[in-house]
Structure 1
Amino acid sequence: MNLSKQDALLIIDYTNDFVDDQGTLTCGKPGQEIVNRIVQLADQTLANDGWVMLPTDVHTPNDPYHPETKLFPIHNVRNTWGREFYGPLKVWYENNKSHPKVGVMDKTRYSSFAGTSLDIDLRARQINHVILTGVCTDICVLHTAVDAYNLNYQITVPQSAVAALNDAGQQWGLNHFKGALGAEIAE
């Protein structure tokens, strides 16, 4: 995969609650196994003058107005261990957070585009290609991909850098990216 300054690597929801064994909605081992590839892609993106953005889920406990309150246990609450980046990504972020092409973005819906400035930020930087990584393949990565498609972004999904809650969700998500959204599935 060739990376350039017109690329943005999105590391979606790669937090303890979604990845660590003790996380509230963990992908477990499949989520943990992709961390080195995500960090490698982040380093490659910066080395090629691209952008690394970390859209990260955030919630308020028992929010009666948020649809996920009825679907999932409380997760990714601001200023908690569960919302911290997982393992080596946390270390990578601490070492790179002052880099001018690295940014964290709060999101409150599945898609990284819903209710955020992501589209405006990407267009301001003349980015037309997004590389989607993180979790969960068939939930937040999927909804981000659908919005990216509808906004005319070129999409790449490195299959070694996304994980789902189960194998069926992983395969369905990858097939949907390729077949319905025209995304490149790398590796």
Structure 2
Amino acid sequence: MNPTYTTHSTAVLFVDPYNDFLSEGGKVWPQVKAVAEDNRLLDNLLAITTAARATGVRVFIAPHRRWEPGDYEDWTHPNPTQVEIMERHSFARGQWGGDWHPDFAPQPGDVVAKEHWGQSGFANTDLDQQLRQRGITHVIIVGLLANTCIESTARYAMELGYHVTLVSDGTAAFTPELMRAAHELNGPTYAHAILATNQVLELLANAPTPP
């Protein structure tokens, strides 16, 4: 059964919309490009965020920590992703790769949460407070990567009591196998809905605005 979204209680939660992930020339784009292009990821992300704003559904951005010199270098237990960031300087602060993809930069009315250090947009940030203070109960989660930050953020949202929608073609991963694991194997164990972009767009178009 498809979920019911209302404009006042639903948010699109966009994880890590950086040039390094989503733009030609980005440090991570070559690793996600094949899956992203097969999914029509950029077109779908633009369609979802445009439709959300047009109907009054808020867009929340959950950005990864922008790398700076000294990050992780003296940590006792950096995770494998953080080690890669440290080595390749992904999402570097003040550099093009750490800037927003031009199609997905925050717009007036959007909410940008504090940057997350690991893979969950909720851990050690103000994202939960920002959502709850605006009455959000349903989150439609898009962005990157399907099997890391999207999954971690979505699982955390479920644990906090949010209704969670994954968008199967609103994300990407390094391989089709990782996408399958994220949506066919893992997703059904915690997500309340797993939809395609066209289904999300139809539901957003019909989202009622409570009095």
Q: TM-score, normalised by structure 2?
A: 0.77
The separation in 2 between residues aligned to 1:20 and 1:29, in whole angstroms, is 13
Q: Which residue of 2 aligns with 1:51?
A: 58
**Residue 80 of structure 1 is aligned with which of 69, 73, 95?**
95
2:10 equivalent to 1:7: yes
For residues 131 and 52 of structure 1, the distance between their equivalents in structure 2, rounded to whole angstroms, comes to 10
Larger radius of gyration: 2
Residues 118-138 of structure 1: per-residue CA shift (max 9 Å, x gap): 101111111110000011000
Q: Which amino acid aligns with 1:8?
A: A
- Residue identity matched to 1:80: Q
Query: Which segment is superposed worse, 115-124 or 16-25?
Result: 16-25
CA offset at residue 19 of structure 1? 2.3
Q: What aligned pairs does 1:26-175 form with structure 2 within 5 A after superposition? A: 26=29, 27-31=32-36, 33-57=40-64, 58-63=66-71, 64=73, 65=75, 67=78, 68-72=81-85, 73-90=88-105, 93=106, 97=107, 99-100=108-109, 102-105=110-113, 106-175=115-184
Residue pair 1:59, 1:108 contacting (<8 A) in 2 also = no
* Greater shift in the superposed pair: 154-163 or 24-33: 24-33
Letter in 2 for 1:86: H
The verdict on how the C-alpha distance between 1:145 and 1:176 changes in structure 2, with shifts beyond 3 A counting, is farther
Displacement, 1:177?
A: 4.9
Equivalent position SS for 1:138: helix
* 8 Å contact from structure 1 (residues 111, 140) kept in 2: yes
Deviation at 1:41, TM superposition (A): 1.1
Please say if 1:182 is aligned against 2:191.
yes
Letter of the structure 2 residue corresponding to residue 103 of structure 1: V
Q: Equivalent pairs: percent with the same residue?
A: 23
The residue type equivalent to 1:158 in the other structure is V
Residues 40-80 of structure 1: CA deviation (Å, up to 9, x unaligned): 11122122222101111122235222724424432111121
CA deviation vs aligned residue, 1:103-158 (integer Å, no higher than 9, x gap)? 22322221110111010111111111000001100010011011011101101112
Residue identity in the other structure for 2:167 = P
Q: Give the letter for the 1:82 counterpart.
A: G
**Rounded Cα–Cα distance in structure 2 between residues aligned with 1:182 and 1:135:** 16
Flag structure 2 segments of 5+ consecutive residues without an equivalent. Answer: 197-211
- Structure 1: give runs of 5+ residues left out of the alignment: none
Q: Which stretch of the first structure deviates more once superposed, 35-44 or 125-134?
A: 35-44
TM-score (norm 1): 0.86
Q: Secondary structure at the residue paired with 1:75? A: coil
Structure 2 SS opposite 1:53 = strand
Contact 2:165–2:191 (Cα < 8 Å) also in 1: no
Contact preservation (8 Å) 1:128, 1:153: yes
Change (3 A) 1:69 1:112: closer
Change (3 A) 1:41 1:177: farther
Q: Kindly state the Cα deviation for residue 169 of structure 1 after the two structures are TM-superposed.
A: 0.9
